[in-house]
Structure 1
Amino acid sequence: MTKVHPFWEQPEQVEKFAAREADKRLLKLISRYPHPEETRVLDLGCAGGRNTEVLAKRKFDVYAVDASLPMVEKTRERVAAILGPEETEKRVRPGTMEDLQDFPENSFHLVVALGIYHNAQDQRQWDEAVQQTVRILTPGGQLLIANFSPKSAPNGRKLQPVPDKPHVYEGFSSGPLFLLEANEMDVEMAHHGLFPIVATETVKVLTEQGHRITVNALYRKQA
């Protein structure tokens, strides 16, 4: 498994991400599924389990993956009382975004990938991760995404492009990230047979020293 950046192993980061509320876009999206127990969902890059827990409580057939063992342990801790120890061990597992070979093709109706794909360190890793997601999505399955934009300035300074690595920028505490504008994201996803369900948008949030811009998107796998 690809070595995770030390940022994601820090206890304070685990607790910080665990304390966040469930994603509002996800809550709105899952309210439209009439039969949660028949809907298989992958929380890809589950972090501290904020979304995994909600999906489990609402009876979705949920699985979760994260490259950080402390994050996996935190998520397991949160859902064990809901799913039971054995199911939790099976369903919440360590792994990278491009390491989904254990899941069968066309097996997930929804993949939740919030702040995950931008951790790719180059175009190859990005493509591998998206290809694996497309492989496990059912025809017509949906992919919910949040990725940082290269126009972010979390520390009040412009992000710096990494030489000889297109779309890779430095400036975030979690290390170099693969960042795309909204229109670039749509183009990249179309190459993999994923097309927007709603218009891809950007959201700006102020930080202590600057601002963070996130690209929010919802795609459907071509049937």
Structure 2
Amino acid sequence: MEWNERRTLLDQARAWWEDPEQVSHYRKEVDSGPTPAEQLLFRALPASGRVLDVGCGAGRIAFHLADKGYDVTGVDISEAMVATARDLAGQRHSTATFRQVEQLALPFPDSGFDAAVAGKVHCYVPSRSGRQEFLDEVGRVLRPRAPLLLVSYVVPSEQEADDVLASDALHRRAAARFRSLEPLDTFCGDRGYVHWFTPESLREEFADSPAFELESVREDEPGGFLRLVVLRRRNTTGAVPGGTKL
């Protein structure tokens, strides 16, 4: 994907998560805590240590893990989400801390975290090369063999998804502005962007990561449209020292 188009999509993602309706929605969700599927995924966390919550939103997962005794840092590209999370942290007397980041370049030293979680974040990064850079950057700040826990969307097949997108006028209008989209790059209205995966393409993409080994992929529920993924940071990674700029 061309650099200018990738940057435009990242800027659109930031604008989407800055929308007051989105911020209000995620603030209301905080008290619900993790879903049963996420609780199952969290079994792969170490018993204690520093956890990075990438794409933390208003803090739903960060507060839960902090209450469990983890030292949690949440990061998000949205200033509004981070401001909301900080406000809630004060109200809840939570030990979780929050930082706004630029395009998911992480302002942390190498190997400083014992685990990371990223709920529905990877699928919002445009282009396969961009998503690999994202994985490299998260891998850089994790200790060797630390887990990265991901939640990602899937669709049953590329053909079924293409059929749906072909009938969606808003998607077609938004997609027409770009020349270098990948198959299954998807638009919700004029702003929202997400890359859908098939179950097979999701596994293939993680299998190609120089930063992580693919440990497990499971459905959130039988026939569900989410996959719960455990990646394990390799002892030696292809991560870029000092961070990357997506």
With the shorter chain as reference, the TM-score category is: 0.7 to 0.9
Match of 2:197 in 1: 180
Please give the residue correspondences for 1:161-200 in structure 2 after superposition, counting only pairs within 5 Å.
164-173=180-189, 175-192=192-209, 193-200=211-218
In the superposition, the TM-score normalised over structure 2's length comes to: 0.71
Shift of 1:31: 5.9
Please give the residue correspondences for 1:3-42 in structure 2 after superposition, counting only pairs within 5 Å.
3=11, 4-20=13-29, 21-23=32-34, 24-30=36-42, 35-36=47-48, 39-42=49-52
User: Percent identity among equivalent residues?
Assistant: 22
Q: What SS class does the counterpart of residue 200 from structure 2 fall into?
A: helix
Match of 1:214 in 2: 226
RMSD: 3.0
Match of 2:239 in 1: none
Cα distance in 1 for partners of 2:44, 2:14 equals 36
Please give the residue correspondences for 1:135-150 in structure 2 after superposition, counting only pairs within 5 Å.
135-150=140-155
Shift of 1:93: 0.6
Shift of 1:168: 4.7
Cα distance in 2 for partners of 1:32, 1:129 equals 21
Cα distance in 2 for partners of 1:188, 1:109 equals 23
Preserved contact between residue 195 and residue 222 of structure 1 (Cα < 8 Å): yes
Q: Which has the higher helix share?
A: 2
Taking structure 1 as reference, are residues 203 and 125 closer, same or farther at Cα in structure 2, changes over 3 Å only?
Answer: farther
Of the candidates 76, 81, 84, which is equivalent to residue 74 of structure 1?
84
Question: Which protein, 1 or 2, shows the higher relative CO under an 8 Å CA cutoff with sep ≥ 6?
Answer: 2
Taking structure 1 as reference, are residues 74 and 116 closer, same or farther at Cα in structure 2, changes over 3 Å only?
Answer: same
Cα distance in 2 for partners of 1:142, 1:33 equals 7
Cα distance in 2 for partners of 1:55, 1:202 equals 20
Preserved contact between residue 115 and residue 148 of structure 1 (Cα < 8 Å): yes
Q: Which has the higher strand share?
A: 1
Structure 1: gaps spanning 5 or more residues = 206-211
Cα distance in 2 for partners of 1:44, 1:93 equals 10
Please give the residue correspondences for 1:27-176 in structure 2 after superposition, counting only pairs within 5 Å.
27-30=39-42, 35-36=47-48, 39-80=49-90, 81-83=92-94, 91-96=97-102, 98-100=104-106, 102-151=107-156, 158-159=164-165, 164-173=180-189, 175-176=192-193
Preserved contact between residue 143 and residue 218 of structure 1 (Cα < 8 Å): yes
Shift of 1:182: 2.6
